[in-house]
Chains A and B, each alone.
Chain A
Amino acid sequence: MSEKKGLMRFLAEYDRRIIYLLIFVVVIGPLLSPFILPISVSPDTQAYYNVIDKLGPNDIVMVVFDTEFSGFMELQSGILASMRVMIEKGAKMVIAVSHPEATGIPELVLNQLADVISRKQYTYGKDYVYLGYIFPNEAAVAATAQDFHGAVRQDYYGKSIEGTLLDKVKDWSSWSLISDYTTGIQSQALINHYGLRGTPMIVNCIGVMVATQKPYVSSGIYKALLQSMRGGAELEYLIGVPGPGLTAMNSFTLGHYVLIIFIVLGNIGYFGYTRYKQKPTGG
């Protein structure tokens, strides 16, 4: 009996560092020997793919890195896969960021897409432009939606944007699509000043935001929503180019199993020890 209680007590009060250690082991294990298994593609990802698949050389897409560097880790599979499709389709890209930490991200991404950029002869200025940090707050987003050239004069490298593909951009109506990769910094401002006016928007958000972003798909403000790294992995699977998303899926699966096991064990410990201990003894 006391042995049983000892086990229950352990399940109720074990050192939480055991969970951290196990999560670390199950995450790093599959990453050290990556293997890719086929995954199912959700309707949300299919809808997202359908939107970017329809892009053509006459379309100008505003790609917004609406994230800090930590969020980029979760979004990078979606970013890489989406931008790969956009480049393949010949769509023009204007890249902007909304957080000082994100200013280094576009160059990292473009380096990883160097193969498709050189194969498609995708040229800076003619096919894509990097504007840097242009969205510090909602007022800045509103200004670009109203009069783009009044709010932005130079690209990230300090060169004038005159004579680039941005000559065709006047205001919110000039964009074929806004592709927002977000942890929620300026996504509401983009909705308020672009989405509500009718600029088509697609969004790749981090996992914690999915529940709050879904209604914007139902209301038609977002054309599609790509959910976290899982969505990125599905997009990689759809376009047939494995990347960081697909290789991470095994770590995700094992991590989720660990969580489920600990929830079950924790509840056994709660009902077998903690709750028993809390019962009033009477008298």
Chain B
Amino acid sequence: MDLVEISITAVGAFISICMFTTLYGKSNPLYALAEESYIGFATGLTVVVNLLYIYRTGILGIQAGDTILIVGIILGIMILTRISKKYSYIARLPLAITIGAQFGLALRTTIFSGFIDQIKGTILPLFNTDMQSMIYNWTIAISVILMLTFFLYTMELKGPLGLGASIGEYIMYICFGAIFAQTFMGRLGLFVGFMQNYTVPPWKIPYLLGSLIIVFGAVMILDKLKLLEKLTPEE
């Protein structure tokens, strides 16, 4: 490990723990510091990386003879007129073209990926497969039918249809539970990943624990002294 790596770890651990002070439940200056540092960093990085992208794709493309890209550059510059009250209407044209192009690109394909292929994915072999797949496939097929029954809006759901809709409703609750569990696993995964980053290799641990004690200690002391709100900048 060198000094650069130590500095990155120390600053990273401190700023990250400052971010975690939001869990304390009260606005505090350390959270504001971390949040605004992140916004500044992310904005700077986004500007630089995107300018580089424009250079590499647009400018180099024009130099290589792809002159149609000049139109793109002009349209891009036109968007910048949004910062002027007087000329902001000019930005509407490139925005309209962007939305139209995006819409066209998505419309051509989303009908397949988001609709037809999803239906195809539900049409599964119910027989002539192994026992486990058969159970999965039957569960999916029955659940889809029952859940769709719940969404029949143009007729009164009574009798077998009503029963099917009720079962479909309960299947949906099970599905919400599964999604909640997946979400928790995902969020825990983000947290575990972060913690791993500051516990492996072990020389990073003192920086993590030190930041934790300093930051939460400072927040608790400021809270006791009733200084949290006073020192936190207004949004």
A interface with B by C-beta (< 8 Å):
16-17, 20, 23, 27-28, 31-32, 70-74, 76, 100-101, 103, 132-134, 136-140, 142, 150-154, 158, 188, 191-193, 195-196, 206-211, 215-221, 228-230, 244, 247-248, 251-252, 255-256, 259
Contacts and interface: CB of A to CB of B under 8 A. Distances in A.
Interface in B22-65: 23-25, 42, 45-46, 48-50, 52-53, 56-57, 60-61, 64
B196 A154 contact: no
A265 to B, nearest CB: 16
Interface string B64-82: 1010000000000000000
Given A206-B189, A207-B189, A218-B122, A153 B61 contact: yes
Contact of B117 (A100, A142, A221, A229): A221
B133 to A, nearest CB: 9
29 contacts: A23-B191, A27-B191, A31-B192, A73-B190, A73-B193, A74-B189, A74-B192, A101-B42, A103-B49, A138-B102, A139-B101, A139-B102, A153-B64, A192-B110, A196-B112, A196-B113, A196-B117, A206-B186, A207-B189, A208-B182, A208-B183, A208-B187, A216-B113, A219-B117, A230-B185, A230-B189, A247-B200, A248-B196, A256-B188
A216 B189 CA distance: 23
Given A153-B61, A196-B113, A208-B182, A138 B106 contact: yes
A196 B120 CA distance: 13
A134 B58 CA distance: 12
Contacts of B183: 207-208
Contacts of B60: 153-154
A259 B183 CA distance: 12
A216 B196 contact: no
B142 to A, nearest CB: 15
Nearest to B196: A244
A177 B60 CA distance: 28
Given A138-B105, A153-B56, A74 B113 contact: no
B82 to A, nearest CB: 18
A137 B105 CA distance: 11
Given A70-B190, A100-B45, A136 B23 contact: no
Contacts of A251: 188, 192, 195
Contact of B121 (A16, A17, A138, A218): A218
Contacts of B194: 70, 73
Given A207-B186, A211-B182, A244 B118 contact: no
Nearest to A74: B189
A263 B42 CA distance: 36
A150 B66 contact: yes
B97 to A, nearest CB: 11
B124 interface: yes
Task: Pick the most buried of A73, A101, A251: most chain B CB atoms within 10 A of its CB.
Answer: A73
Interface string B181-213: 011111111111111110110000100000000
Nearest to B132: A43
B80 to A, nearest CB: 17
B218 interface: no
A154 B56 contact: yes
Contacts of B84: none
